[in-house]
Structure 1
Amino acid sequence: MSKILSQEEINALLKNVGQEGEKENYEVIGGNEKKVSPYDFSHPQLLSKEQERMIENIHENFCRTYSVYLSAQLRLLAEIRQLSIEQFSYSDFVSSVSNPSCLYMMDFEKPNGRGILEMSSKLNIFIVEKLFGGQTLFKDMTEDREITHIEQKVMKRVMDKCFSELTKAWLSENDILLKYGSFESNPDYAQIVSSSEPVVVVTFEIVIHGTKSYMNICYPYNWLSKVMFQEEFQAQMNDEKNETSNEDQESVEEILMNTQGNLSAVLGSINLPIQSILELSEGDVLVLQTKIESSIPVYFGNKHIFNGNPGTHRQSKAVKITKVF
C-alpha cells in the first residue's frame, strides 16, 4: 500500500526539486541556513559595474578612432571591437601571454604608473609588411616569430599613434598621459607590478579581411583606482560621453574620399527566352533596346547616377557625361 505524504514532506520535496546543484551554495550557520557566494581570490572583483561601464565607454572611443587610423595606414578595412574587461592577478596575465609576443610598455603620467599593450607577433609582422607595400593577405600569414629591431622601429610610429589615441580616450585635458615606454618579446621580462597585484585587462578583437587577431591592454588596478576616483574625471566622462570630435569626422571623410568605386556604363539590354539564348552562336547579332540617339545609363555600384553618350577617346571606348542625377 502506498504511503501518504504529510504536508511538511511535500514542502520539503518541492523545495529540493531542481536545486540539487545549488545545495553547495548553502551552509547551516548557528542553526540557520545561509547562502554562501563563492569568491575566487585569483580573479578579484575590485571594479564596480559603474566603473566597468566607464572603462568600456573610454575604450569604445579608442576603438573607433584607432581603427580609422589603422585602416588608412594599411589601405584596407581594419575593424577593432572591444570584447571584454576582466580582472586578474598579474601572474595570471603573464602566464596567458604567448612567447614570443609583442609587449609594448606604456608609461603613465599624472598619475604615474606603467601598463602593457600586448599584440600577436603575426599581426605586427603583417602591419610592417603592409606599410612597405606588401601584398600578402592577413589570412595567409603563417610566420609567428620574434620581430626584429628594424620592425620594432617601424612599429614604434604605429604604437605612438595608438598611445596618442588612447590618451585622448582617457581625457587628456585631465592631464592623463600615456606614452610609449619600451618593448619586450618575452612576457617573463615584462614586470610592471608584483605578481600578486590585481590588474584589469581590456581585450580587443582586430578583424582584417575577415581574419581575427587579438590585442590586450593591461592596467594595474592601483593606477586605475587613482584615476577613476577623481571627481573631475567622472564629471568630464558624463559631459563628453556623447560628443564626436571634428578630427574623427575629418578622418572618416578622408578615408571615404580615397575609397575607389566601380563605374559601369550599360550599352543596352534585351530580353530573350532561354531557348533562344541556348541557340545563340558565333556571328549572331543581338538588337538592343537602346536607340542610336539615346544616352546610356552609368552606374556607381548598383545606383544609376549619370547618363552619357558612348564614343571613343584615343583609341579607347569612352562615355561622355550628359546628365547628373
Structure 2
Amino acid sequence: MGDILSQEEVESLLSEAKVAQVSSAEESAAAASTTPPIAKPAAGPVPMRPREKITPYDFKRPERVGKEQMRALQTMHEGFGRNFGAGLSAMLRSIVEVKLTSVDQLTYSEFVFSLENPTCFNLITAKPLEGQLILDINPSLLFPIIDRLLGGGNTPTPAARRPLTEIELRLVGRITDLFLTEMRRAWENVLELELSVDRVESNPQLVQIVPPNEVVVLISFELTVGSVRGMMNLCIPFNSIERIGNKLSANSWVAISKRPATRESIQRLSDQIGGAVVELIVDLADTNISTADLIGLRVGDIVTTEKDIHKPLVLRVEGQPKFHTSIGAFKGRKAIRVLDEIEEHHVAIGEVPTSEAE
C-alpha cells in the first residue's frame, strides 16, 4: 500500500503545479513587454498572392505521348489538311475547307463511345507500323459528299441514319484513297508508309483494335463543304508509334524559314556529298534494226550507224546531259575524254525565247 499517495502529498503536488503555471505566465508577459509593437497594415485592399496553376492528373489516362511528339504530329497534319482540302475540292468541284481542330490523347473506349452509330469506321493498315489505324467520317458530312459525287447540287440533304450501301462504299473509297495518298506524303519525311483500307464497319463499338484503356492519339479535322460541316477523325494507337517516337521527336524534317547559304554551310554540304556515287552513261550511237537481225546477232558482228566518228558524244550524269566527250583508249582500256561542258539555257518566266521574238 506504499504506492498510494496520501491526501497531504496530493495537495502538495497541486500547489507546486499552480506555482509553476503562474511563473511561466509572468515570464511570457515580460517577454511581450520587451518586444516592439508590430505595425498594423494601412487600410486598403490586401494584395492577393498569385496562386499556382494546378493541373489535375487522371491516372486512368496517362499521357504516354510526349509534348514534342504531339507538336510534331500537329505540324505534320496541318500541312496534310491543306493538301487534302485542295484534292477534295478538285474531286468535288466545290470549295472544301479542311481545318485541323485538335490533337489529343485519350483512351480507346472514350474515342469509340464518342462516335455516332452508325458511322463510316475505316480500319487502315499502315505498314511498317504495328496494329491498325482508324479513320472515322461523320455521316452528316459523308452523305452530302456522296450526293455531290452522284451529281447533286449544293442544296444540303439530310443525313440518313443507316449503314452505307455497296455503291456508297465504292464512292467513299475514292475519298479514303485520296486521304491515304495525302497522308503518305505527309509522313514520307518520317517514315515510308504502305497504307490500305482493311475493312469498313458501321458500328464502332463492335471493333476493338486495342484494349479499352489503351492510350490513342486522336487527330480531328473539321470539313466544310459548301454549307455543310462535319468532323473527320484519325485515331492512332500509341503502340503503333511507340517504336518511332525518336523520329517524331526530331525536328530536322520540319520546314523552317530559308536562310542565305554561308561558306561554312556550302563547305559542309560539299563534304557530305563529295563521296556520293553517281552514274555516268555515254550514248555511242542510235540505230534501228529489225527484230530478226537482233535475234541473229552473234559475237563479232558489226552494227553500222549513221553517227559521225568525229562528232562529240554526250556524257550523262544521273540522266542529265553534262559534258561533250570523245572516245578512245587509255592504258589498254576503253576511255572517254571530256571536251567541254554543256551549257544549260534557262528562260525566265514571262520572257520570250530569242527565236520566237525574232
TM-score by length of 1: 0.60
- Which residue in 2 is equivalent to 1:219? 236
Cα pair 1:122 1:145 within 8 Å, conserved: no
- Counterpart CA distance in 2 for 1:99 and 1:50 is 34
Cα pair 1:85 1:202 within 8 Å, conserved: yes
- Which residue in 2 is equivalent to 1:166? 183
1:155 aligns with 2:164: no
- Counterpart CA distance in 2 for 1:96 and 1:55 is 22
Distance 1:173 1:216, change over 3 A: closer
Cα pair 2:122 2:197 within 8 Å, conserved: yes
- Counterpart CA distance in 2 for 1:185 and 1:81 is 25
- Counterpart CA distance in 2 for 1:7 and 1:223 is 65
SS, match of residue 174 in structure 1: coil
Distance 1:242 1:169, change over 3 A: farther
Cα pair 1:107 1:115 within 8 Å, conserved: yes
Once the two structures are TM-superposed, the CA of residue 143 in structure 1 deviates from its matched residue by: 2.8
Once the two structures are TM-superposed, the CA of residue 151 in structure 1 deviates from its matched residue by: 0.8
- Which residue in 1 is equivalent to 2:123? 105
Distance 1:7 1:75, change over 3 A: farther
Deviations 1:33-78 (A, max 9, x none): xx96520234432333322221111101211111111111111101
Say which of 88, 91, 115 aligns to 1:73: 91
- Which residue in 1 is equivalent to 2:323? none
Cα pair 2:184 2:192 within 8 Å, conserved: no
- Counterpart CA distance in 2 for 1:241 and 1:42 is 37
Higher strand proportion (structure 1 or 2): 1
SS, match of residue 243 in structure 2: helix
Distance 1:18 1:99, change over 3 A: farther
Say which of 163, 175, 184 aligns to 2:192: 175
Distance 1:176 1:144, change over 3 A: same
Q: Which amino acid in 1 is paired with 2:155?
A: L
- Which residue in 1 is equivalent to 2:211? 194
SS, match of residue 202 in structure 1: strand
SS, match of residue 63 in structure 2: coil
- Which residue in 2 is equivalent to 1:303? none
Q: Which amino acid in 1 is paired with 2:146?
A: V
- Counterpart CA distance in 2 for 1:172 and 1:48 is 20
SS, match of residue 253 in structure 2: helix
Report sequence identity in percent.
30
Cα pair 2:108 2:214 within 8 Å, conserved: yes
Say which of 69, 73, 90 aligns to 2:108: 90
Once the two structures are TM-superposed, the CA of residue 118 in structure 1 deviates from its matched residue by: 0.8
Cα pair 1:121 1:146 within 8 Å, conserved: no
- Counterpart CA distance in 2 for 1:194 and 1:146 is 25
Cα pair 1:125 1:147 within 8 Å, conserved: no
TM-score by length of 2: 0.55
- Counterpart CA distance in 1 for 2:40 and 2:222 is 55
1:129 aligns with 2:147: yes
The count of residues paired between Structure 1 and Structure 2 equals 220
- Counterpart CA distance in 2 for 1:201 and 1:173 is 19
Q: Which amino acid in 1 is paired with 2:182?
A: E
Say which of 154, 163, 166 aligns to 1:146: 163
Structure 1: where are the runs of 5+ without partners? 26-34, 244-325
- Counterpart CA distance in 1 for 2:94 and 2:136 is 22
1:50 aligns with 2:68: yes
Once the two structures are TM-superposed, the CA of residue 213 in structure 1 deviates from its matched residue by: 0.8
Structure 2: where are the runs of 5+ without partners? 1-36, 259-358
Once the two structures are TM-superposed, the CA of residue 137 in structure 1 deviates from its matched residue by: 2.3
Within 5 A, what are the aligned runs for 1:280-291? none
Q: Which amino acid in 2 is paired with 1:237?
A: W
Once the two structures are TM-superposed, the CA of residue 148 in structure 1 deviates from its matched residue by: 1.3
- What value does the CA root-mean-square deviation take over the aligned residues? 2.9
- Counterpart CA distance in 2 for 1:229 and 1:152 is 37
Once the two structures are TM-superposed, the CA of residue 179 in structure 1 deviates from its matched residue by: 2.1
Once the two structures are TM-superposed, the CA of residue 162 in structure 1 deviates from its matched residue by: 0.8
Larger radius of gyration: 2
- Counterpart CA distance in 2 for 1:75 and 1:49 is 38
SS, match of residue 237 in structure 1: coil
Cα pair 2:190 2:247 within 8 Å, conserved: no
Q: Which amino acid in 2 is paired with 1:206?
A: L
